[in-house]
């Protein structure tokens, strides 16, 4: 339960940010007035089918102050009408890389017990007579894992789809991953089926290794490289004997391995499973396929972290750290009573670990902890 005073202070924090960044938001959205807008307010109510004019946008933002703010990937003739009457005219090709969809990444969490107005941290075997919740925490390691998928995605889009880097907008999502918006016009008219084919190409969904004709095809090359490197993931799918047999075939040449797999139904099936599970780009395919998808507004604040959905230049990706580079620019420090916070690098330095204590932290870190239910009592420092 978030205390009313904290919520008012956070809403004012968001309002101040939007007052200063209205123009940046407008300039980041192509065909602004053809988009449907939607938002979640600070009472947790979702509102959508909103059409906005550029010259009225600032006053609308100040009046409504979104906690979480979205626009449609699609362009509509009538964006404020219901879905059947909007008249779809196209949509950006959008990709979402989120830690929730990254295999083998163990999300860092903390379990809390909420009993009336009291909140306490639970140890692994702790008892809870109230509402037991598992809260996801942000960490740099997770962002680096998501960034590897992001780089793989961009490489394939540029190499295999002939999409130029200037037609790709890369964003930190503000939460737990990255968004990629492809603005190339020839992709905007693609229907859901065509976008599904792109999704399948990237993720290897539905792959059948027996249908591959070219040994240099990306799925088979990826599989051969995994065999050569003896990826640990291989042992999750294959026995040691099976790996040894396939490696011997590969040592002769790729053609021998491919021919062998075509004739071996069991190993072909296991190879399909391995390729799909471990070698495809890990995106949220639903986002890519949905031609009416709502996506977080660029340069809006994320309601659960206080971080900015920020555009990133490709050359800056290696150095980009969301926990410092996506914080509101005019950040100030506040006092906060913190239930729990592991050691974390945020904004300008290391903070924590904290456990049931008061500390001075950046306002955005206070937003993150309060909105996660891990802090309360924001005060001026």
Domain end call among 229, 255, 279: 279
Q: How confident is the model at residue 264 (pLDDT cuts 50, 70, 90)?
A: very high
86 and 222 share one domain: no
**3-state SS class at 151:** helix
Res 123: pLDDT: 67
CA 46 to chain centroid: 20
pLDDT per position as a tens digit, 178-228: 999 998 889 999 999 999 999 999 999 989 999 998 999 999 999 999 999
Given the residues 23, 96, 131, 290, select the one marked as catalytic.
96
Mean pLDDT of the 330-349 span = 91
- Alpha-carbon distance values, 193 to 214, 228, 239 (Å): 25, 35, 37
Res 329: pLDDT: 81
The verdict on whether 41 is a catalytic residue reads no
Mean pLDDT of the 15-32 span = 96
Helix, strand, coil share of the chain (percent; to 5):
45, 25, 35
Domain end call among 279, 305, 337: 279
Given the residues 160, 284, 290, 330, select the one marked as catalytic.
284
As a whole number of angstroms, the distance between CA 180 and CA 317 comes to 13
- Domain with 69 in it: 4-100+140-196+285-380
Res 45: pLDDT: 96
Res 132: pLDDT: 80
73 and 170 share one domain: yes
Does residue 88 register a pLDDT over 60?
Answer: yes
92 and 177 share one domain: yes
Res 126: pLDDT: 65
Number of domains in the chain: 3
Please give the share of the chain, as a percent, with pLDDT higher than 90.
76
Mean pLDDT of the 338-357 span = 91
Given the residues 92, 98, 167, 191, select the one marked as catalytic.
98
Res 102: pLDDT: 85
CA 251 to chain centroid: 39
83 and 168 share one domain: yes
182 and 232 share one domain: no
Name the range with the highest mean pLDDT among 65-69, 112-116, 118-122, 234-238. Answer: 65-69
312 and 164 share one domain: yes
Res 62: pLDDT: 97
Element (H, E) at 26: helix 4-28
The verdict on whether 55 is a catalytic residue reads no
Domain end call among 236, 262, 279: 279
Do the beta carbons of residue 41 and residue 66 sit within 8 Å?
yes
- Residue 65 Rama label (left phi>0; alpha psi -120 to 50; beta): left
Does residue 77 register a pLDDT over 80?
Answer: yes
Q: How confident is the model at residue 277 (pLDDT cuts 50, 70, 90)?
A: confident
Question: Which residues is 335 bridged to in the sheet?
Answer: 360, 379
List the strands of the sheet with 177-182, edge to edge.
93-98, 177-182, 168-172, 310-312
Q: How confident is the model at residue 381 (pLDDT cuts 50, 70, 90)?
A: confident
As a whole number of angstroms, the distance between CA 237 and CA 215 comes to 22
188 and 58 share one domain: yes
153 and 34 share one domain: yes
pLDDT per position as a tens digit, 106-162: 888 888 887 766 777 776 556 777 778 888 889 888 899 999 999 999 999 999 998
91 and 154 share one domain: yes
46 and 156 share one domain: yes
131 and 267 share one domain: no
Res 125: pLDDT: 54
As a whole number of angstroms, the distance between CA 312 and CA 321 comes to 11
Res 108: pLDDT: 83
The verdict on whether 284 is a catalytic residue reads yes
As a whole number of angstroms, the distance between CA 155 and CA 165 comes to 10
Across the chain, what does the average pLDDT equal?
92
As a whole number of angstroms, the distance between CA 373 and CA 337 comes to 11
25 and 72 share one domain: yes
Q: Read off the CATH number of the domain in which 311 is found.
A: 3.90.920.10
């Amino acid at each position: 339960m978030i205390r009313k005073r904290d919520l008012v202070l956070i809403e004012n924090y968001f309002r101040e940010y939007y007052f200063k960044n209205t123009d940046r938001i407008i300039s980041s959205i192509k065909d602004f007035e053809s988009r449907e807008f939607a938002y979640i307010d600070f009472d947790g109510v979702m509102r959508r089918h909103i059409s906005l004019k550029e010259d009225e946008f600032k006053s609308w933002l100040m009046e409504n102050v979104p906690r979480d703010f979205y626009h449609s990937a699609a362009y509509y003739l009538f964006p404020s009408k219901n879905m059947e009457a909007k008249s779809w005219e196209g949509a950006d090709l959008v990709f979402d890389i989120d830690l929730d969809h990254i295999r083998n990444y163990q999300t860092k969490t903390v379990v809390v017990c909420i009993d009336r107005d009291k909140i306490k941290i639970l140890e692994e075997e702790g008892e809870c007579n109230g509402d037991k919740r598992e809260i996801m925490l942000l960490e740099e390691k997770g962002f680096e894992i998501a960034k590897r998928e992001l780089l793989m995605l961009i490489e394939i889009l540029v190499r295999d789809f002939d999409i130029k880097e200037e037609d790709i907008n890369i964003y930190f999502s503000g939460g737990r991953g990255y968004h990629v918006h492809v603005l190339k016009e020839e992709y905007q008219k693609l229907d859901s089926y065509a976008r599904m084919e792109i999704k399948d190409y990237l993720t290897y969904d539905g792959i059948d290794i027996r249908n591959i004709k070219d040994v240099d095809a990306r799925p088979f090359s990826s599989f051969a490289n995994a065999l050569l490197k003896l990826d640990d993931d291989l042992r999750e799918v294959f026995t040691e004997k099976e790996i040894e047999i396939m490696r011997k075939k590969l040592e002769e040449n790729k053609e021998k391995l491919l021919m062998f797999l075509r004739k071996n139904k069991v190993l072909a099936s296991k190879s399909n499973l391995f390729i799909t599970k471990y070698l495809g780009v890990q995106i949220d395919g639903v986002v890519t396929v949905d031609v009416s998808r709502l996506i977080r507004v660029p340069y809006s604040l994320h309601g659960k972290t206080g971080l900015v959905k920020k555009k990133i230049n490709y050359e800056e990706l290696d150095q980009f750290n969301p926990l410092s580079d996506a914080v509101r620019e005019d950040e100030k420090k506040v006092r906060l009573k913190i239930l729990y916070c592991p050691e974390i690098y945020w904004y300008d330095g290391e903070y924590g670990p904290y456990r049931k204590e008061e500390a001075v932290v950046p306002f955005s870190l206070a937003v993150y902890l309060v909105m996660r239910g891990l802090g309360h009592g924001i005060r001026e420092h």
